[in-house]
Amino acid sequence: MNATTSDTKTTRTICGYCGVGCSLDLVTRDNRIIAVHPAFDGPANQGALCVKGQFAYDYVHHPDRLTHPLVRDEAGQLRRASWDEALQRAALGFKNVEQKHGRHAVYGVASGRTPSEANYMMQKFIRVGFGTNYIDNCSRA
Amino acid sequence: MSNPLADMEKPDVIFCIGTNMTEAHPVAATRLKKALARGAKMIVADPRRIRLAEMADLYLPIRVGSDTALLLGMAHVIVREGLADSEFIAARTEGYEELVDHLQEKTPEWAESITGVPAAMIEEAAILYGSSGKAAIYYTLGITEHICGVENVQSLCNLALLTGNFGREGTGVNPMRGQNNIQGAGDSGALPNNYAGFQPVDDAANQAKFEKAYGRKVDLEKGITKVTALDQCGDRIFAMLIDGENTVVSDPDQEHCIHALKSLEHLVVIDIFLTETAELADVVLPAASWAETDGNFVNTERRIQRVRKAVEPPGEARPDWWIIGRIAQRMGMSGMDYDSPVPIFNELCELSPIYQGIDWDLAEGGQYQWPIPYRGHPGTPRLHEDGFINGRGKFSFTDYRDPAETIDEDYPLWLTTGRRLESYHTRTQTGRSEGINDLLPEETLEVHPSDAARFGLHDGGWARMSSRRGAVDVRVETTRRSPQGTVFASFSFADVPINVLTGSGYDPITHTAELKVCPVHVEPIAERTRLTAD
């Protein structure tokens, strides 16, 4: 979508809060969400939404959103970094720990909030990267 | 859930236990309301007089952590009253005779002595549930977040097996999953004991299958759970990759958790905000949010549904799958260089028997509930219709155990924790939503008026609440929603970090924390001085 147009666009998606999985339509304009419409043909919700699903979407555009990678500097502070530097630091750190402490020293925690594709990548990262089953998601707490 | 959400409108008798559904799963609760309007009866067992309890025909005010005793007492009555479904038991279960022996001593009077619920009410509940044509059980974390979470679930299954309430419309044992894609996280293999599609890692055939697919032989031994991993930080675990979880606020025993993460040599956190957990990281990677990414969520009824990108992520934020793949590539891993979520989902489907019948394109319409074992299969809205996956349904010989910690002179009140309608988890999202913050600006401790009088607390005043692990300051709300002897707070507010207090024990099998039970001491204070765990 062209960010300069003022046309509204509607995107069918699934609520990001609890596990009921309500269908909803995100109404967007100029790359911002301006409304949420409940989907009357949503199999889980049949047109219903709760206060969170209906109204709690403005966090998406909150100024606190992380917009660039951060790495910890020598003084112990998080500072802005490029993707190139941050990915290199992330990868090197895992490599170093594996070399020093063995492949069972690295652990992955997947999210109950991200799409399945991210969960699948997390478990594949641990299993292919280290040959271990040192992976879990956040369902136990 | 064994049964689809649509079935929530169909039972004759609804049994809700350990679920605050009108607050935690409000839209699912609307479907129960439709059943009630049609004339269905509802039993609610919960320590707190929640909204659902007010709607119930029969409310059982159980003491926190006593669920197994209640359920054994109900099973005893079902057998004693001849309400067991002998045809179903003969055809589809095993262990019935042993169960009858086991239940002999589990009288409603015995259950009353533990739960505090009068024996007559336990009998009434058992007879109502057991004599119904279609009875359905709904539960949430009030059942599982205990040291006996497994026994609680098994005790619920006993009731459904005894009465033949499986595999039919409006029946079943139905856990309500708490997060949008917690089901999908397990389905995708983000578990220490299972590959994708719940294929056990300790089965050599599965090891060989994934070695072929991944080009690397993975340990035949199960991994450790996150709980164990946190215990081993700085000892055996030295690096973690955490995606989208605010561990510091959501997990029990906050001080222990912070110490664990700080003792790592390398912590990488992927998130959309600089959470309390991300603040401890060596590398923080900015993720695209739910409205900015394409993929699939799996809901509580095992329905695979498409999420779609509606807006661009801010700045340089990227989808989680992209970030993880790019770290992997930098480490020299092969087979991680995906350019879209489509081949990732298709690979998950190919490797998972329960997803075998679909792919990205077929999942588009959201009509499939797994298992979908082959192409052309319509999916499985209702489990166990023709039989149980592993043959016969096994009765479990559960017993009551005390919680990890029980009240005493020093910690005389039970604290139980949970969610509130207007806030979600650790408020990284809802705390940044203006209208929501107006609705629920701060956390309160819900205290029965007589307990408030006993401990010198005042409605609107401040209390310091302590457990064996720490203390928090919190504003007091006197309410009869809390029973005498039990107080309640949510874990959502980082400035009232309730999980400083929790963490007394874990279920030995699932490693789920006993977040629902924590003995505490409360005292009045003039003003709040403790703001964080530090």
Please indicate, yes or no, whether residues A35 and A25 belong to a single structural domain of this protein.
Answer: yes
In the predicted structure, residue B475 carries a pLDDT above the cut 90: yes
pTM value is: 0.95
Tens-digit pLDDT profile for residues A72-122: 999 999 999 999 999 999 999 999 999 999 999 999 999 999 999 999 999
Please indicate, yes or no, whether residues A57 and A79 belong to a single structural domain of this protein.
Answer: no
Which stretch of B8-17, B87-96, B493-502 has the lowest confidence by average pLDDT? B493-502
pLDDT at B8: 98
pLDDT at B531: 61
C-beta of residue B190 within 8 angstroms of C-beta of residue B160? no
Tens-digit pLDDT profile for residues B438-472: 888 899 999 999 999 999 999 999 999 999 999 99
Confidence of residue A6 (pLDDT cuts 50, 70, 90): low
Q: Is B295 left (phi over 0), alpha (psi -120 to 50) or beta?
A: left
| Residue A1 maps to a domain | no
Task: Give yes or no for B343 touching A (CB within 8 A).
Answer: no
Confidence of residue B484 (pLDDT cuts 50, 70, 90): very high
| Residue A51 maps to a domain | yes
- Nearest-5° angle of CA A18, CA B158, CA B513? 45
| Residue A3 maps to a domain | no
| Residue A27 maps to a domain | yes
In the predicted structure, residue B113 carries a pLDDT above the cut 60: yes
Task: Give yes or no for A2 touching B (CB within 8 A).
Answer: no
Q: Which of B196, B222, B319 sits opposite A120 (nearest CB)?
A: B196
Is B331 close to A20, i.e. CB distance below 8 A?
no
Which spans in B131-238 are helix H? 141-144, 149-162, 182-187, 204-214, 226-231
Confidence of residue B424 (pLDDT cuts 50, 70, 90): confident
Tens-digit pLDDT profile for residues B267-281: 999 999 999 999 999
Please indicate, yes or no, whether residues A57 and A12 belong to a single structural domain of this protein.
Answer: yes
Please indicate, yes or no, whether residues A77 and A92 belong to a single structural domain of this protein.
Answer: yes
Classify burial at B418, counting beta carbons within 10 Å of its beta carbon; exposed 0-12, middle 13-18, buried 19 or more.
Answer: buried
- Average pLDDT across chain B, whole number: 96
Report the CATH number at residue A23: 2.20.25.90
Please indicate, yes or no, whether residues A14 and A56 belong to a single structural domain of this protein.
Answer: yes
CATH topology of domain B5-176: Dimethylsulfoxide Reductase; domain 2 (3.40.228)
Please indicate, yes or no, whether residues A39 and A52 belong to a single structural domain of this protein.
Answer: yes
In CATH terms, B413-525 corresponds, of 1.10.8.80, 2.40.50.140, 2.40.30.10, 2.40.40.20, to 2.40.40.20
Please indicate, yes or no, whether residues A20 and A56 belong to a single structural domain of this protein.
Answer: yes
How many whole angstroms separate alpha carbon B23 and alpha carbon B457? 26
Percentage of residues in chain B having pLDDT higher than 70: 99
Task: Give yes or no for A54 touching B (CB within 8 A).
Answer: no
pLDDT at B358: 98
For the residues B102-109, what does the mean pLDDT come to?
Answer: 98
Confidence of residue A1 (pLDDT cuts 50, 70, 90): very low
In the predicted structure, residue A5 carries a pLDDT above the cut 80: no
Tens-digit pLDDT profile for residues B183-226: 999 999 999 999 999 999 999 999 999 999 999 999 999 999 99
How many angstroms separate the CA of residue A35 from the nearest CA in chain B?
12
- The domain locations on chain B are 5-176, 178-219+288-375, 224-286, 413-525
Task: Give yes or no for B221 touching A (CB within 8 A).
Answer: yes
pLDDT at B139: 98
How many whole angstroms separate alpha carbon B529 and alpha carbon B515? 25
The residue segments making up the domain with residue A90 are 66-101
Confidence of residue B427 (pLDDT cuts 50, 70, 90): confident
Domain B178-219+288-375 coded CATH 3.90.1150.10: no
How many angstroms separate the CA of residue A23 from the nearest CA in chain B?
9
Task: Give yes or no for A124 touching B (CB within 8 A).
Answer: yes
Is A86 close to B283, i.e. CB distance below 8 A?
yes
Task: Give yes or no for B177 touching A (CB within 8 A).
Answer: yes
For the residues B314-327, what does the mean pLDDT come to?
Answer: 98
Structurally, how many domains does chain A consist of? 3
| Residue A134 maps to a domain | yes
How many angstroms separate the CA of residue A59 from the nearest CA in chain B?
5
How many angstroms separate the CA of residue A10 from the nearest CA in chain B?
8
Best of B271, B283, B518 to mutate (most A CBs within 10 Å, chain A)? B283
Task: Give yes or no for B213 touching A (CB within 8 A).
Answer: no
Task: Give yes or no for B201 touching A (CB within 8 A).
Answer: yes
Please indicate, yes or no, whether residues A21 and A53 belong to a single structural domain of this protein.
Answer: yes
Please indicate, yes or no, whether residues A17 and A51 belong to a single structural domain of this protein.
Answer: yes
Best of B179, B203, B250, B423 to mutate (most A CBs within 10 Å, chain A)? B179
| Residue A2 maps to a domain | no
Is B510 close to A140, i.e. CB distance below 8 A?
yes
| Residue A53 maps to a domain | yes
Q: What is the amino acid identity at position A24?
A: L
Confidence of residue A2 (pLDDT cuts 50, 70, 90): very low
pLDDT at B534: 40
Please indicate, yes or no, whether residues A14 and A46 belong to a single structural domain of this protein.
Answer: yes
Residue B30: list chain A partners with CB under 8 A.
48
